[in-house]
A and B are shown apart, each in its own frame.
Chain A
Amino acid sequence: MTDTMRSHGAPARGPSAAAAAVTTGSANILMRLTDPPMRAVQRLIGAARMPYVFLLPNLLFFGLFVFLPIGINIVFSVTGGTGLFPSERPYVGAEHYARLLDCGSYLEAGSCREDLFWRGVGNTLTFTVFQMVAMVLFSLVTALVLNRPIRGRGFFRAVYFFPVLLSPVVVALIWKWILQRDGLLNAVLTTAGGEKILFFVDPGWAMFWAVFVSVWAHMGFYTLILLAGLQAIPRDVYEAAEMDGTRPWRVFHRITLPLLWPNLLVVLVLVLIRSVQVFDEVFVLTGGGPGTATMMVVQYIYTTAFANQVQNFGLAGAASVLLGAVLFVLTLIQLFLTRRRAS
């Protein structure tokens, strides 16, 4: 039996070998403890029903922490008061939705009753547009460069990738330290003869750095997806083009871009889904400021439900349902695209 195990899948090497050694030891003990009761269960309900037993724990978690909350969220959004439990909350109908959507003009956040929400929506839109353009551009260029016959490709790939693993709080603090008033960047600026810039006091700069920092942190992930796509393009297509003396730009335009397009679409949608939900880095970096210049929708929801003096779960719930609807549509598009790529 052991031989067949070894021969299957990746040969046991490095970390998996160490993990395997540890697991075999503890697995023996665990097996002796768990097998008799599970055997009894199987005898009781029959082997055909065992898959339900295996599914149960995971589905219980999904039910408790995902599906039940979706229901509660909808209840929250149509009930008022400050109570946490639905029994303490009076029904108010669509009041919260009406309040969120009550605007003189949707182009002017100040004209809305819940102007903070609309500022959040506006900021998130701005952030999303700039971040999508920058993210796709930089990860595409990086993937194209890494796909060339480069010495030390593995090293450079790692260089671009490692920030992906960092905690958003760590990422934000690293950059906050560089961008602060007496920070490294201002030191470079003044040494070069410029003046200090208070990056987090100027709304434009704050948004710029919010976009910059999240591109810095996540571009490695998308570079990796695009690089995998580029490496899947057959070499002989390029060789044929080279024989014909096709110009490099034309090769990119006529071969690389069309063949990479499915991956590029997936990246676009993934970036979109992530940036609509942006919170962590921006919140720690700017705190949503100056004023509300970088306050995003998710921060609005978090503040409304948890950080304000009065915890307004109803309003937060209604805003979540609206955000959820947007995400639902975006995820359907993503699934559709991924499936098409797979087939």
Chain B
Amino acid sequence: MTGKLRTGKLGRLLLARRGGASWHWTDVASYAYLALGVLLMFGPVLWLALSSFKTPAALLEFPPSLLPMAQSEVSVQGYPQPLPLFRVTMEDGSVRELAQVRRVGIVAQMVDPAAPGQTIRVPADRRTPVRHMALAVENYTDPLTQFDFLRFLRNSLVVTVVATIITLIINSMAAYALSVYEFRGKSVAMLGVIGTLMIPITIILAPVYLVVTKLGFVDSLWAVILPGAATPTGVFLLRQYMLTIPRDLIEAARMDKASEWRIYARIVMPLSMPALAVLAIFSVMWRWNEFLWPLAVLTKTEVHTLPIALNAFQGELQTQWHYLLAMTVVTLLPVALVFAFLQRFITSGIANTGMK
């Protein structure tokens, strides 16, 4: 294949490899693999987004159409409701656009919108619906009024923001103590932090529920915010970063009679901004997506967060997919935006820490 490709200037530009080497079959295979990857990774999300704009009728279609389509309708004189429009192949082979009055078995009664006086009887299989692209925006607007969608959105926002702030404060304080000071019991404290790495919430669900009940937080957002606020990952991440801050800076501040709190808040925190930002992004992701614990502790609908609300909604007997898909898109959107803007930041943060 190499060199036998007859390509124009543009083609050569597109096909040129880094370093100007010629194409090898492994390059073709690599790009084929990546192209397949794009289809497989993006395709499902794109399909979700397209489907979320379809009307319930369009969602029931099989096989489904790619774009959100709706059947065109016309108002015909003498009929109170708008009538669905069809393209009909007549006996003589000509094609006319007719509105359907009703369908009886295999025969459809149609009228010509231009001449509403006479009904035309047509075999049902001779007609195909006339369609146009239509975005069912009501899939997005209805949930706002019909169910407490805004409340779920607000709950998720409150949990995410408050929990992230608490996490940043208490994790950075602990990381500061563990990176700047030497004190008795430091190794025990370190061991304790490492120990919590091994205890995911999955294995202490019921006892944490007991603690939260005792504290009186059941069915309040605090029940979701507090238990996960102290993260071992965050302490490690920040400590690792704070260890690189020059000790002279801290000593100089002590000379100037700065309090330990002032050193933490005015010197170490500003210098740790990159690490704090990475932890903030992680925390937002964790909280926005958290599922098992909120599912266990939030039983009242008023305090449901988005994932819990989505799960409850999809479990209903008659799943209203048109609303569910739209709400899924709304849940996905903030994460997609964060990712679009902070992609490099997130990937390098993960590559450096090996954590997520």
Interface residues of A, Cβ cutoff 8 Å to B: 1, 4-5, 8-10, 12, 14-16, 19-20, 23-24, 27, 30-31, 34-35, 38-39, 42, 47-52, 54-55, 57-59, 61-62, 64-73, 76, 84-85, 141-142, 145, 148-151, 154, 156-170, 173-178, 182-184, 186-187, 190-191, 216, 221, 224-225, 227-228, 248, 266, 277, 279-280, 284, 287, 298, 301-302, 305-306, 313, 316-317, 320-321, 323-324, 327-328, 331-332, 335, 338
Pair A51/B48 contact, Cβ less than 8 Å: no
Among A15, A49, A184: residue with most chain B CB under 10 A = A15
The 8 Å CB contact of A61, one of B180, B195, B226, B314, is B226
- For the complex of A and B, 8 pairs with smallest distance between CB atoms: A61-B230, A38-B261, A69-B207, A72-B207, A58-B174, A187-B63, A167-B289, A54-B177
Q: In the complex, how many angstroms separate the beta carbon of A135 from the nearest chain B beta carbon?
A: 14
Binding site for A on B (CB under 8 A): 17-19, 26-27, 30-31, 33-34, 37-38, 40-42, 44-45, 47-48, 51, 60, 62-64, 169-171, 173-174, 176-178, 180-181, 183, 186, 189, 192-200, 202-211, 213-214, 226-230, 235, 241, 244-246, 249, 259-262, 264-267, 269-274, 276-277, 280, 285, 288-289, 291-292, 295-296, 306-307, 310-311, 314-315, 321, 324-325, 328, 331-332, 335-336, 338-339, 341-347, 350-351, 354, 356
8 interchain pairs (CB within 8 A)?
A35-B262, A62-B192, A150-B30, A156-B38, A169-B311, A173-B310, A175-B44, A216-B44
Measured CB to CB, the closest approach of chain A to B203, in angstroms, equals 4
B263 to chain A, nearest CB (A): 10
Which of the residues B173, B270, B356 comes within 8 Å of A164, measured between beta carbons? Answer: B356
Q: Roughly how many angstroms separate A61 CA and B201 CA in the complex, as a whole number?
A: 13
Q: Are B285 and A20 interface neighbours, CB within 8 A?
A: no
* Other-chain contact of A174, B27, B44, B198, B339 (Cβ < 8 Å): B44
Of B40, B205, B249, which contacts A302 at CB under 8 A?
Answer: B205
| SS of A interface (majority) | helix
Task: Note all chain A residues with C-beta closer than 8 A to B205.
Answer: 301-302, 305-306, 316, 320
User: Main SS of the interface on chain B?
Assistant: helix
For B272, what are the chain A residues with a Cβ–Cβ distance below 8 Å? Answer: 9
Given contacts A59-B230, A165-B338, 17 further A-B contacts (CB under 8 A): A4-B249, A5-B270, A15-B345, A48-B183, A51-B177, A54-B177, A62-B193, A66-B199, A69-B207, A72-B211, A156-B37, A183-B64, A224-B351, A225-B350, A228-B351, A284-B311, A306-B296
Name which residue of chain B comes closest to A299, CB basis.
Answer: B292
- On chain B, the residues within 8 Å of A64 by CB distance are 211
CB-nearest residue of chain A relative to B171? A58
Whether B17 lies near A149 (C-beta < 8 A) is yes
On chain B, the residues within 8 Å of A183 by CB distance are 64
Which residues of B have CB within 8 Å of A57?
A: 169-170, 173-174, 230
Given the complex of chains A and B, what is the CA–CA distance between A219 and B157 in angstroms? 28
Provide the bound-state CA to CA distance between A69 and B31, in Å: 50
A141 vs B30: C-alpha distance in the bound complex, in angstroms? 10
C-alpha spacing A95/B46, complex, angstroms: 52
What separation, in Å, do the CA atoms of A24 and B265 have in the docked complex?
A: 10
Complex Cα distance A298/B201, Å? Answer: 11
B279 to chain A, nearest CB (A): 12
Contacts of B277 in A (CB 8 A): 15-16, 19
B207 adjacent to A70 (CB under 8 Å): yes
In the bound complex, what is the Cα–Cα distance between A88 and B204 (angstroms)? 19
**Which chain A residues border B324 with CB–CB below 8 Å?**
173
Complex contact B41–A162 (CB within 8 A): yes
Give the residue name and chain of the B residue nearest to A267 (CB): B354
Contact partner, B204, options A30, A38, A320, Cβ 8 Å: A320
Complex CA gap A161/B62 in Å reads: 32
* Known contacts A163-B41, A221-B356; A55 and B296 CB within 8 A of each other: no
Q: How far is the CA of A327 from the CA of B192 in the complex (A)?
A: 17
Given the complex of chains A and B, what is the CA–CA distance between A48 and B186 in angstroms? 13
Contact A35 B285, CB 8 Å, known A141-B33, A170-B332, A328-B198? no
